[in-house]
């Protein structure tokens, strides 16, 4: 069932790069006025140009998504300048690539505040306004890692797990209240975004997404669909479904499997640059667009996404992913790896 929105105003957090930047273009193509929330001035300016080049109206606002007061102020400004917010996309994230034994308490705090609490604060700001009209959509951007943590990303994985818990609680409350506000969550696989050259890393080699890699435009299409349809969850890519199913049925096996491949699978063969700038505490003062350095490996379509936009397709995707997962695990066990 499609959702009819009362206005064409969307707010996208983390809009200066990666998935947020691609989502801004997706909504602009469909005629939306796009409020762009992020810390980086240069990236926001690039996003503004993207939206306007597509004939859209853009409102860039510099915001630290770990700051609830700044988000509330931004939401007020959006409604004053663009009109009532009909869609809010919670997308901002941060991470530290590091073994737990080398992590600092303040790093966990920062990643959690941006990646988890940023979505909570965004939801509160959106819900406060949508509740008055009893209308609107809130889209939370999750991850396969909300169900299965992997080595070297404990802070990020913990934050994504927390988002799923908050989402479950909030959605149940909306149903209890018989609210017309829709909340959906889009779980993503490995994406070719700018994050791998932005986040803080203690790895000896340059980092990369692990597994099959998708272009951010695939995620953007999923986010747009979620904002306009009454779907609880959307899983992008076969790897996402396989990860969720694998952890449900074989968590102990995955512990050992990821212990073996999780370190090398997240690094290229190129040494990391000593002292490379990162965006944990402050934004990097440049515009890097939406794509990372893996265009040669990333795909720009997802058969799973196309299928999962229908209920029949969802069943088929789960069945196929389960078959592929079982076959892969059998092969791994027989190979003695």
For residue 214, the Cα-to-chain-centroid distance in whole angstroms is: 13
Which residues lie closer than 8 Å to 311 by C-beta, 6 or more apart? Answer: none
Side-chain-facing half-sphere of 19: CA atoms under 13 Å: 28
pLDDT score of 312 more than 60: no
Active-site positions read: 156
Encoded tokens for 58 = 């853009």
Cα separation of 153 and 174, whole Å?
Answer: 32
pLDDT score of 48 more than 50: yes
Stretch among 1-5, 112-116, 199-203, 258-262 having the lowest mean pLDDT: 1-5
Angle value at C-alpha 85, between 84 and 86, nearest 5 degrees: 110
- Residue 305: what pLDDT? 81
- Residue 320: what pLDDT? 52
What number is the average pLDDT over the span 126-143? 98
Report pLDDT digits (tens) over 154-190.
Answer: 999 999 999 999 999 999 999 999 999 999 999 999 9
Q: Which homologous superfamily is 9-271+281-335 in?
A: NAD(P)-binding Rossmann-like Domain (3.40.50.720)
As a whole number, the mean pLDDT across the chain is 92
- Residue 301: what pLDDT? 85
Which residues lie closer than 8 Å to 49 by C-beta, 6 or more apart? Answer: none
**Predicted model pTM:** 0.91
The crossing angle, in degrees rounded to 10, of helices 154-176 and 118-133 is 20
Report pLDDT digits (tens) over 233-248.
Answer: 999 998 888 888 889 8
Encoded tokens for 263 = 């370190």
Torsion from C-alpha of 101, 114, 308, 236, nearest 10 degrees: -50
**Domain boundaries in the chain?**
9-271+281-335
């Amino acid at each position: 069932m499609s959702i009819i929105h009362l206005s064409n105003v969307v707010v996208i957090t983390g809009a200066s790069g990666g998935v947020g930047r691609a989502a801004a273009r997706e909504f602009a193509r469909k005629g939306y006025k796009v409020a762009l929330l992020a810390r980086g001035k240069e990236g926001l300016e690039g996003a503004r140009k993207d939206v306007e080049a597509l004939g859209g109206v853009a409102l860039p606002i510099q915001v630290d998504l770990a700051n609830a007061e700044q988000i509330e102020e931004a939401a007020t400004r959006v409604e004053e300048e663009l009109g009532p917010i009909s869609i809010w996309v919670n997308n901002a994230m941060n991470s530290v690539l590091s073994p737990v034994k080398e992590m600092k308490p303040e790093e966990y705090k920062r990643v959690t505040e941006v990646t988890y609490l940023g979505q909570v604060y965004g939801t509160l700001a959106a819900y406060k306004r949508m509740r008055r009209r009893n209308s609107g959509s809130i889209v939370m951007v999750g991850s396969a890692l909300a169900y299965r943590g992997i080595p070297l990303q404990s802070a990020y994985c913990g934050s994504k797990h927390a988002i799923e818990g908050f989402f479950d609680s909030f959605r149940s409350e909306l149903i209890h209240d018989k609210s017309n506000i829709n909340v959906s969550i889009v779980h993503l696989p490995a994406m070719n975004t700018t994050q791998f050259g932005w986040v803080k890393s203690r790895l000896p080699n340059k980092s990369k997404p692990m597994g099959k890699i998708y272009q951010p435009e695939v995620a953007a299409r999923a986010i747009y669909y979620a904002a306009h349809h009454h779907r609880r969850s959307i899983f992008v890519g076969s790897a996402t479904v396989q990860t969720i199913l694998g952890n449900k049925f074989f968590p102990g096996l995955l512990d050992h499997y990821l212990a073996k491949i999780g370190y090398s699978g997240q690094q290229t063969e190129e040494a990391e640059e000593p002292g490379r700038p990162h965006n944990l505490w402050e934004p990097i003062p440049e515009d890097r667009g939406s794509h990372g350095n893996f265009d040669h490996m990333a795909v720009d379509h997802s058969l799973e996404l196309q299928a999962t936009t229908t209920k029949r397709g969802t069943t088929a995707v789960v069945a196929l992913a389960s078959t592929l997962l079982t076959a892969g695990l059998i092969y791994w066990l027989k190979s003695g790896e």
